[in-house]
Amino acid sequence: MLRVVAREAAKRSRALQLQQQRFLNVHEYQGAQIMSEYGVNVPPGIPVFKADQVAGAAKKMADEAGEVVVKSQILAGGRGLGKFTNGLQGGVHICKADEAPGLASKMLGGTLVTKQTGPKGKPVNTLYIANKMKLKREMYFALLLDRKSAGPVMIGCSEGGTSIEDLAEKFPDKIVKIPIDIRTGITDEQAMQMVEGLKVQTDKKAAAEQIKGLYRLFVEKDCTMVEVNPLAETDKELVAADAKLGFDDNASFRQQDLFAMRDESQEDPREVAAAKYDLNYIGLDGSIGCMVNGAGLAMATMDIIKLRGGSPANFLDVGGNASEDQVVAAFKILTSDPQVKAILVNIFGGIMRCDVIASGIVNAAKQVGVKVGVKVPLIVRLEGTNVERGKEILRSSGMDLITASDLDDAAHKAVCSILPECDESSLKRKL
């Protein structure tokens, strides 16, 4: 049993370490605009935000057969196989130009559910009306950061149109990986090596310039990822038919134009609010809200809640040096979440002082308009710097609290507080 718990804890910890990083993603039409600035060939297209813009855009983008591609713009993959909550199947459609307005009316303002969005889906506030291109073949290309080589790596495959995981499984011998020395940048030889690996049939020199343009974009825009899937070939040239671009949030100060493109409607509103106060927050599906200082302690708290039979509603690390305003913001996020049925505050005061946390809790309770505390059970475990002062602040606040002596006790009481069969009197302790 302990081995199973340990394995599950390790999986959750690794997942959190990945999810905790915030990277900017942009929509397909925005990515196309950015790539075109670097001379990368992209399909012609027009973004539309209102239904009355669709007819004009479709007329301009129609091919010789009078057809266009209508693409939902959400920050998730699997759009083509997705389904709208109104019943419309597919987030990407090829249709006659005169049919585009009617189709768009079912897509704009709707919610698209794909395998990557989860059951809640993502709102479709923008459509991309694109030219239907005649593609001879599809390939895969990506630029990523590689820990092994401590720099960028190019990955290519002469087969494309699906996920790299599927490609690697089906065509392992066709995967090409080329590490790049960040100090010297991409060389002509490396660009041509990738072109040969992709088995380009058109102008290879021009194709190499496309690869080099994508690398310049990767470096100059502080990208964490440039994934072109498919990188397609027409009769004349390579085209980045669809791409996913990710940007490092640490570079936001020098990429202000890019970060102005952030679409917060595609993000969890709780995570958006947390980011404004520099809080590490990840929304989960459980019912016990957690406020903890330190990522390791936060993950341990979540694991022991699970071990005690409960389920965490979030990962929330206020950090080792949070201000009272940050604590107030964190508490507001927890109390505004309707799925939270209990809140567990687990603070070890090393750098973070217990009295600051206590003041933040009390002030947050006042600001959310609760007379004596919060609307759900509040379990508090404080230990460390200024712990007695913190307990005094909570004791004199008039708040209805459940206190705990250690982490295991706190988790047990948090889980028990939301179970009807628990004896509530056994939960009460004096500070």
Q: What is the pLDDT of residues 116-166, one digit of tens each?
A: 888 889 999 999 999 998 889 999 999 999 988 889 999 999 988 666 777
Rounded to the nearest angstrom, the gap between the alpha carbon of residue 210 and the centroid of all alpha carbons in its chain is 28
How does residue 424 score in pLDDT terms, banded at 50, 70 and 90? low
Among 11-20, 61-70, 385-394, the minimum mean pLDDT is found in 11-20
The annotation places the binding site for Mg(2+) at 229, 242
What pLDDT, on a 0 to 100 scale, did the predictor assign at position 431?
40
Catalytic site residue 227? yes
pLDDT more than 90, % of the chain: 47
Rounded to the nearest angstrom, the gap between the alpha carbon of residue 270 and the centroid of all alpha carbons in its chain is 12
What pLDDT, on a 0 to 100 scale, did the predictor assign at position 17?
42
pLDDT per residue as tens digits for the range 159-216: 886 667 777 788 788 899 999 999 999 999 999 999 999 999 999 999 999 999 999 9
Preceding peptide of 269 cis, ω within 30°: no
Length of the chain: 431
More confident residue, 274 or 26: 26
What pLDDT, on a 0 to 100 scale, did the predictor assign at position 423?
58
pLDDT exceeds cutoff 80 at 430 = no
What pLDDT, on a 0 to 100 scale, did the predictor assign at position 322?
67
Of 225, 58, 198, 35, which Cα lies nearest the Cα of 128? 58
This prediction's pTM: 0.70
Residue with tokens 């190019």: 154
- Active-site residue, selected from the candidate residues 159, 227, 233, 271: 227
The 8-class DSSP code of residue 99 comes to: G
The count of other CB atoms within 10 Å of the CB of residue 277 is 18
More confident residue, 320 or 146: 146
- Active-site residue, selected from the candidate residues 29, 140, 215, 281: 140
Residue 76 CA to residue 350 CA, distance in Å, equals: 40
User: What single letter denotes the amino acid at residue 261?
Assistant: M
First to last CA, the chain: 35
Alpha helices (runs of H) in 171-283, residue ranges in sequence order = 188-198, 204-220, 256-259, 269-276
Residue 27 CA to residue 132 CA, distance in Å, equals: 19
Alpha helices (runs of H) in 221-315, residue ranges in sequence order = 256-259, 269-276, 295-307
Catalytic site residue 267? no
* Six token digits for residue 73: 């713009």
Helix, coil or strand: residue 164: helix
